[in-house]
Amino acid sequence: MRAIRFVSVFVSLFLPTFAGVPNISSRGYVAPGVPQNNTGNSQNAESFKYLAVTLPDPARLHEKSYWFNAIPLIQTTAVAEGWTLLPGSDCTNGGKYFGVRYLPKSAPSIAALYDSKGVIAGFQILYKVDALTKGSSEADCDTLNKFQNNYTFSDQRMINKETIGGTQYFVLTAYFVNPKQICSSNRSPSRVKTDGFGNQLSFQNGPTPSTLILAPATRKLAAAQSWTNNQCLPLNGYHNFFKSNEWDSKNCTENRPDWLFYNKDQRLSGFGFSLPGCDGSPRFQHPPGEIVQYVSGSKCAKTVSDTIKFSNMNVYFVPPISTLHDCPELESKIPENIDQILKELVG
Ligand SMILES: *[C@@H]1O[C@H](CO)[C@@H](O)[C@H](O)[C@H]1NC(C)=O
Ligand SMILES: *[C@@H]1O[C@H](CO)[C@@H](O)[C@H](O)[C@H]1NC(C)=O
Ligand SMILES: *[C@@H]1O[C@H](CO)[C@@H](O)[C@H](O)[C@H]1NC(C)=O
Ligand SMILES: *[C@@H]1O[C@H](CO)[C@@H](O)[C@H](O)[C@H]1NC(C)=O
């Protein structure tokens, strides 16, 4: 029953997206990093060699679905691609975040954090406070003044509030290396392609980088640390939300904003942030209630999705396409010709 419903959701949610897939090969698509043998420190993931988030494409028509694109791994590439320094940012940002902050050219709902040598070291998501708390009339949202958002934004340690260019934002921050090393880096931008840009994902959990939540390198460790083993979706992988089994008892007002992606080998392959409310930036996904309930097992998550909506962003350490086959138990549900479909569209 579940599986049948899943197929229809998969087809309706994901297949149309491929109609809007840009030519990734012309924008620096690289093969997934060769997995390294990592029997040593179990907190460290395999080296991250790729970073992708939802398209920044302001030309994406609202009826077109989402796709993902690479984030520049070194500062000089970012500058060449038109990213700009967030006014006033330096490596320590007054102690609030570590890494020089750059905003992309369009739809700046994200910031990339570069270390003192110009290698990517972290990533931020910037949510418009008004859009989340009051709703938005933007095309993907249509929630303005329609619902009451009961989420306890101010009680969430992971959320920092900041005014940028006169607009208030909720800021969520992830680091790919130990933040202590970011502003005295000895990394070489020329080695990023071979060495990667980090192997330790953490989330800032307070007003400074001194409080962190470390993302476990394996799904088994994640489950042992209260990230619930949730469902798998092709083109995502296995989801582990933090204590999603407790969401319903709080009516989804206290969900921690992070989640983790694990691949078919149960190894960390990405993460995401999710807050209740609708930010209309084209970078955010607002998944339908049915799929959110399927993935998380939470009833209130369906209600939120179908009223105030969630604003989600998936972040991948591998080319998103390579997560298509990360759910062995659903392999038979994937249309047989999907590789061909993807190949034709993605190149
Ligand atoms: C994608 O880009 C490559 C390199 O620029 C080009 O050779 C190829 O024809 C493009 N494919 C499509 C489908 O546009
Ligand atoms: C990893 O390396 C260890 C020690 O060299 C070896 O015993 C083990 O079989 C390797 N594991 C994998 C999955 O290759
Ligand atoms: C927020 O709480 C109020 C009062 O309990 C309730 O009526 C409303 O439906 C809730 N909003 C959402 C989106 O669940
Ligand atoms: C929980 O959410 C539901 C659906 O929006 C609402 O009807 C109910 O009043 C909420 N309960 C509380 C305690 O806020």
Tell me, yes or no, if the pTM score tops 0.75.
Answer: yes
Query: What is the CA(134)–ligand 3 centre distance, in A?
Result: 13
Query: What is the CA(45)–ligand 2 centre distance, in A?
Result: 15
Percent of the chain with pLDDT over 90: 67
Nearest residue (by CA) to ligand 1, atom 5, is 26
Average pLDDT over all residues of the chain:
84
pLDDT of residue 16: 34
C-beta of 8 in contact with ligand 3 (< 6 A): no
Taking the CA of residue 150 as reference, the ligand 4 atom at the shortest distance is 14
- CA dist 47 and 98 (Å) reads 20
pLDDT over threshold 60, residue 305: yes
The strand pairing partners of 214, in sequence order, are: 202
Report how far apart, in Å, the C-alpha atoms of 279 and of each of 140, 142, 143, 168, 200 are: 9, 10, 10, 12, 29
pLDDT over threshold 90, residue 127: yes
Angle in degrees, CA 81, 86, 89, rounded to 5 = 125
Nearest residue (by CA) to ligand 1, atom 9, is 347
> How many other CB atoms sit within 10 Å of the CB of residue 15?
13
Query: What is the CA(22)–ligand 1 centre distance, in A?
Result: 10
Taking the CA of residue 253 as reference, the ligand 4 atom at the shortest distance is 14
Nearest residue (by CA) to ligand 2, atom 7, is 39
For range 11-35, the mean pLDDT: 30
User: Which residues does 101 contact at the CB level (< 8 Å), separation at least 6?
Assistant: 85, 86, 89, 93, 111, 112, 113, 124
Q: Which of 24, 202, 190 is nearest to 113 (CA)?
A: 202
Lowest mean pLDDT among 56-60, 155-159, 281-285: 56-60
pLDDT over threshold 90, residue 180: yes
Query: What is the CA(203)–ligand 1 centre distance, in A?
Result: 37
**Structural domain count of the chain:** 1
pLDDT over threshold 50, residue 173: yes
Closest-approaching ligand to the CA atom of 344: 1
Span 201-239, pLDDT tens digits: 999 999 999 999 999 999 999 999 999 999 998 888 999
Span 24-76, pLDDT tens digits: 222 222 222 223 333 334 457 789 999 998 765 555 545 555 567 889 999 99
Query: What is the CA(270)–ligand 1 centre distance, in A?
Result: 27
Domain membership of residue 128 as a residue range: 2-345
Nearest residue (by CA) to ligand 2, atom 13, is 37
Would you place residue 5 in the very low, low, confident or very high pLDDT band (cuts 50, 70, 90)? very low
C-beta of 84 in contact with ligand 1 (< 6 A): no
pLDDT of residue 111: 97
Query: What is the CA(148)–ligand 3 centre distance, in A?
Result: 6
Nearest residue (by CA) to ligand 2, atom 1, is 37
Query: What is the CA(47)–ligand 1 centre distance, in A?
Result: 29
Give the mutation target among 21, 25, 342 for probing the ligand 1 site: most ligand atoms within 8 A of CB. 25
- Beta-strand runs (E) in the chain: 52-54, 68-70, 84-85, 100-103, 110-114, 120-128, 160-164, 167-175, 202-204, 212-214, 227-233, 237-242, 258-262, 268-276, 310-316
